[in-house]
Structure 1
């Protein structure tokens, strides 16, 4: 199949005055560049998308390829490992609760629910403020510093002696961990072109699935080998392990991460490479950071970007209910499967999500316009899965297939956020606000809607839940048409 070729916009060579800031040399000396127009090597030529099996565009110069490899090594390694560590903590509390915490802290009421609620309050309330705050500071310091603080608050949980201390710590753990996903999506959009962003976003996203698959084994092994060691109960060791994983990763980020191209001071990027990164983003019309003022906020809120994208994100974020509300393991338990078999079989769903994420990321990078039909196909697949599960009385093999197929629902996460980065390319602050609001709205409704439509008393046949999933996917298809029409109209207006 031929690569997709997109002609660079006619305005690509306009003077990007916002990219005339000083940049850092490898020896940290400040060197100023007047980027009057992107160079021929990166901006004025047509954008040729790579084929699905290619990592680079055929038109990427050798220096662009070296730059991309450096960025992948510095950015992608850190964000993958850091996100993986976040997932360890999210499951550590549930594991700790059934591994001795309940008895040690005398938690015989609804304290576990309250802990999760406090965590989600911090997670939701602080997402947008902290993501916007990150745009005011050097990212290469802000992200690792937040990670270090997150590790410290995680470690402090091993010393708690009562539930009230745990409530306070869970709030800060939620706040410092919650903004990481939208912040990284914004950060990736500051360095990568639209034909490179989807697969990087997919690699970042699948860290959560890898974490889900590995956390149980890590925690079980740690508890078995460390329980009582140094006089510390096994459940407390779980938090120590999370801390031990986090701090080296944070220090790695502090060493490797570059800031954003317009204010970059990296020991691993030369002055020419930073200038090239600026030119690449200028060619993409990816604007650097500006003062975040009230008039700017009002301008953002008057546009369609925030409302349509956040509305779309609501339907997408709730449509993974089949895999996120334990329908499969509860059905397997009701059918008499052993604990070992249940633990093994349920790893298929995150594996499906990983495969779907990688495939969607690769195809969305390789073919312009692929996002629309990838999202549409995913929605249709999940409608089919929801219909099968709503009927319920179907052959066992078909039911397994429907449960596993539902794992594709989260596979489009990376391309949705990459699309938001592309749509909001002209305003760095809008990008930060929109991607964080998209994630916040999903978590906000995800905190209470399951109480109404995924009631445990209806398990494993969540009839209301499966019908709700079908309705969400249908609405997502409608919103996809709306979003695509708005986006095509804006691109047409920009060309004219």
Structure 2
């Protein structure tokens, strides 16, 4: 079934071509404490609740499981794998590099490929394969086998984030996207907080059980977490509104979902042709959003480059205290993500939230660059820097909104935004966040200030282009 088409004249602000669409009405915004828009009918509210149960449960659990594996190899390395596989050189660095090669190179191709297949099968199937390649790592006898498996694990897990952002944009209105994007995003933070406890507990209790070393059990546990979640996805995910065969949604609910997306001109999937790709690449949507994503993706360096734990260690804090104190940063990310998601949906405050976050990160980086400040202020700066990633859901929800007129453009732009961040994040820290500079990363903190200043400049450029397009479309 295809979404109904609504006709009126306007100009497409990205390609400059004439299209037949009527002005998009501004959605009625719910209060910050409300889950539904005042204009949502009882039928819409039931549909939204169903979608939350069918989509958000799976994507949250699946993203949480991805984080377990991303840290499993590092944990396994210090838990016996180094000695068993004789990894006495730079093999751990090579393993991480191979993983990132698969992660980065396959993000865009697999995200675009997903748009050609039923999403309700593609995502869970990729999860099942990811679980299998995770499991077989426990049987490796040499590092060469591990290299091959790590590539496929990176490839199958790397496209999940942009794919889910695109998928949520196929079902939810722009006044609903930010909160759900925040819920999805914080799964990674919860995963990073819980993975250490799960892996350390597994090693302590399972090492030697059935003759299997503890580090090998870590991969078995990742597999055991992934497979049930993938099966949940196969049972629950409803595809996309224009191609939905879910037994859990009625025909009327599917038609309602189509009309909701049509009301915002969220177009269904079309053939992916070279002329369409050229049109996408020639428009401002791609270049401005991807450029903006570069500055955002690199601006979380304070919280992602171990400055806090290394400083605590230099100050002679104990291991238990370090492990406890460093959980504050992801907690700040979780709280700020939820706050931004709620406020962005309720007040359409995307620009203000992004600018405020950049300003807070600049303040934190200035304090840390100065370094010789009171201890309490230094703690505050480290914790405050955890807010840098809290606007991820807002930025990707905005990209979904800007590229609403083409499902293919949404897929290409969102996957490219994520890929550019991961690509530069794989090598830039080697030059900016040098271990020899720890814990006072003077270059890194000043680099973060520059990134946030550039992000603010790009924010106003992005807002200017978008305001002009909305004016042309009479939004």
TM-score (norm 1): 0.91
Give CA deviations for 1:227-256 in whole Å, capped at 9, x if unaligned: 000000000000000000000000000000
In structure 1, C-alpha distance between the alignment counterparts of 2:25 and 2:188, rounded to whole Å: 37
Corresponding residue SS for 1:47: coil
In structure 2, C-alpha distance between the alignment counterparts of 1:212 and 1:329, rounded to whole Å: 15
Aligned to 1:409: 388
In structure 2, C-alpha distance between the alignment counterparts of 1:89 and 1:13, rounded to whole Å: 46
2:124–2:233: 8 Å Cα contact kept in structure 1?
Answer: yes
Aligned to 1:68: 48
Question: Quick one: which of 285, 288, 293 aligns to 1:313?
Answer: 293
Question: Quick one: which of 127, 131, 147 aligns to 2:111?
Answer: 131
In structure 1, C-alpha distance between the alignment counterparts of 2:383 and 2:272, rounded to whole Å: 44
In structure 1, C-alpha distance between the alignment counterparts of 2:5 and 2:278, rounded to whole Å: 27
2:178–2:341: 8 Å Cα contact kept in structure 1?
Answer: yes
Aligned to 1:363: 343
Aligned to 1:226: 206
In structure 1, C-alpha distance between the alignment counterparts of 2:186 and 2:66, rounded to whole Å: 13
| Residue 403 (structure 2) pairs with residue 424 (structure 1) | yes
Question: Quick one: which of 163, 166, 177 aligns to 1:183?
Answer: 163
Corresponding residue SS for 2:37: coil
Equivalences for 1:290-369 in 2 at 5 Å?
290-368=270-348
In structure 2, C-alpha distance between the alignment counterparts of 1:193 and 1:137, rounded to whole Å: 23
In structure 1, C-alpha distance between the alignment counterparts of 2:135 and 2:6, rounded to whole Å: 51
Aligned to 2:18: none
Give CA deviations for 1:7-35 in whole Å, capped at 9, x if unaligned: xxxx99439xxxxxxxxxxxxxxxxxxxx
Once the two structures are TM-superposed, the CA of residue 121 in structure 1 deviates from its matched residue by 0.2
Corresponding residue SS for 1:397: helix
Aligned to 2:354: 375
Aligned to 1:487: 466
Q: CA RMSD for the aligned pairs?
A: 1.7
Give CA deviations for 1:38-57 in whole Å, capped at 9, x if unaligned: 9xxxx998621101000000
| Residue 7 (structure 2) pairs with residue 14 (structure 1) | yes
In structure 1, C-alpha distance between the alignment counterparts of 2:222 and 2:418, rounded to whole Å: 24
Give CA deviations for 1:427-469 in whole Å, capped at 9, x if unaligned: 0000000000000000000000000000001100000000000
In structure 2, C-alpha distance between the alignment counterparts of 1:47 and 1:69, rounded to whole Å: 18
| Residue 431 (structure 2) pairs with residue 438 (structure 1) | no
In structure 1, C-alpha distance between the alignment counterparts of 2:93 and 2:327, rounded to whole Å: 25
Give CA deviations for 1:395-422 in whole Å, capped at 9, x if unaligned: 0000000000000000000000000000
In structure 2, C-alpha distance between the alignment counterparts of 1:433 and 1:49, rounded to whole Å: 29
Residues 470 and 211 of structure 1, relative CA distance in 2, 3 Å threshold:
same
Aligned to 2:152: 172
Count of residues in correspondence between the two structures: 462
Question: Quick one: which of 252, 259, 265 aligns to 2:245?
Answer: 265
In structure 1, C-alpha distance between the alignment counterparts of 2:173 and 2:357, rounded to whole Å: 24
Aligned to 1:90: 70
Question: Quick one: which of 454, 460, 463 aligns to 1:475?
Answer: 454
In structure 2, C-alpha distance between the alignment counterparts of 1:337 and 1:168, rounded to whole Å: 39
In structure 1, C-alpha distance between the alignment counterparts of 2:184 and 2:381, rounded to whole Å: 26
Equivalences for 1:445-460 in 2 at 5 Å?
445-460=424-439
In structure 2, C-alpha distance between the alignment counterparts of 1:436 and 1:268, rounded to whole Å: 29
Corresponding residue SS for 1:262: coil
- Is there any run of 5+ residues in structure 2 with no aligned partner, and where? 9-20
1:12–1:44: 8 Å Cα contact kept in structure 2?
Answer: no
In structure 2, C-alpha distance between the alignment counterparts of 1:406 and 1:395, rounded to whole Å: 17
Equivalences for 1:140-219 in 2 at 5 Å?
140-219=120-199
Residues 238 and 257 of structure 1, relative CA distance in 2, 3 Å threshold:
same
Aligned to 2:81: 101
Corresponding residue SS for 1:435: helix
Give CA deviations for 1:171-220 in whole Å, capped at 9, x if unaligned: 00000000000000000000000000000000000000000000000000
